[in-house]
């Protein structure tokens, strides 16, 4: 299934440290979980091994909240956690 990003999600990618490729991979291969308002969440860990906001992290967890449209997932927002 195709993945499209809402303008809100697209705007948040850079400020939260995720890439569009990571978001798509999260939807395609991540673990699903129920989210608020009947939406679906996806989560996936990626190796980071990089500095983010002055601290070094080895792992980055990307969480995607999306709604299923007829022929694609519409990503509403992206949340990134570093550890």
Q: What is the pLDDT of residue 65?
A: 98
What does the pLDDT look like over 32-57, one tens digit per residue? 999 999 999 999 999 999 999 999 99
Helix or strand holding residue 15 (H, E):
helix 7-16
pLDDT exceeds cutoff 90 at 81? yes
Percentage of the residues of the chain whose pLDDT score is greater than 70: 100
Q: How confident is the model at residue 1 (pLDDT cuts 50, 70, 90)?
A: confident
Rounded Cα–Cα distance for residues 58 and 36 (Å)? 29
d(CA 57, CA 51): 6
């Amino acid at each position: 299934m195709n993945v499209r990003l809402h303008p809100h999600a697209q705007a948040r990618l850079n400020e939260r440290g995720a890439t569009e490729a990571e978001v798509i991979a999260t939807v395609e291969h991540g673990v699903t979980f129920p989210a608020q308002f009947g939406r679906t969440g996806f989560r996936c860990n990626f190796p980071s091994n990089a500095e983010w906001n002055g601290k070094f992290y080895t792992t980055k967890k990307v969480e995607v909240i999306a709604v299923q449209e007829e022929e694609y997932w519409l990503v509403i927002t992206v949340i990134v956690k570093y550890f």
